[in-house]
Amino acid sequence: MFWDDLRKLLSSTQLYRLDRLISAKLVPIFYAVGLAAIGLWAIDHLVNSFADNFGQGLWGILEIIVYGPLWLLALRIVCELILVFFKAHEPSAAAVDLGRRGRTGLLEEVGDAIHDLADDDDDGLSPGSLPTAATPGAGSSSVVDTGPVIKGTVRRGKASPSDD
């Protein structure tokens, strides 16, 4: 299972794109690497302790029996703290994931930004509100009816019930 997850993570484009958060998925990998490091430390310490002399080797076994479980407990606590941190900030992570969902790329985002800027009406004029020239001699009055001004808006996300 660990190797399949690692292979999927490295072969997918999810690792190279920043529109999804993968930090919580990396904690089991961090835990497995930590377990391997503690195991390698124990083997190395045992071999190096007995390489000096027999008495030092016995002392090395005692150190492994005492410090090994302490390092395992510390690794487990650190990994659980990281997972609790990610669980507490899950709504923020979901907001990041949902903010990018449905987008196809940078060009679409730029197009939306241009439409937003075009819809933003700073001077109060829009194509429907521009005054038209009265035709001379047509007998029309000097008041020009331009009709209602309709501004377009781009709605993002779900509509709230109050929008209906």
Question: Is 41 inside a domain boundary?
Answer: yes
C-alpha distances out from residue 18 to 85, 100, 107, 111, 119, Å: 20, 10, 16, 20, 29
For residue 140, is pLDDT > 60?
A: no
Mean pLDDT of the chain: 74
Say what the pLDDT of residue 68 is: 94
For residue 103, is pLDDT > 70?
A: no
Under DSSP, the state recorded for 163 is G
* Cα distance from N-terminal residue to C-terminal residue, the chain: 48
- The domain tally of the chain equals 1
User: How would residue 94 be classed by pLDDT, with cut points 50, 70 and 90?
Assistant: confident
Question: Is 129 inside a domain boundary?
Answer: no
Question: Is 38 inside a domain boundary?
Answer: yes
Question: Is 13 inside a domain boundary?
Answer: yes
Question: Is 152 inside a domain boundary?
Answer: no
Question: Is 86 inside a domain boundary?
Answer: yes
Q: Give the integer Cα–Cα distance in Å for 129 and 149.
A: 6
Closest CA to 6 of 31, 26, 22: 26
Place of tokens 């302490």: 70
The pTM for the full model equals 0.51
- Angle 100-106-111 from CA coordinates, rounded to 5°: 100
Containing domain of residue 22, as a range? 2-99
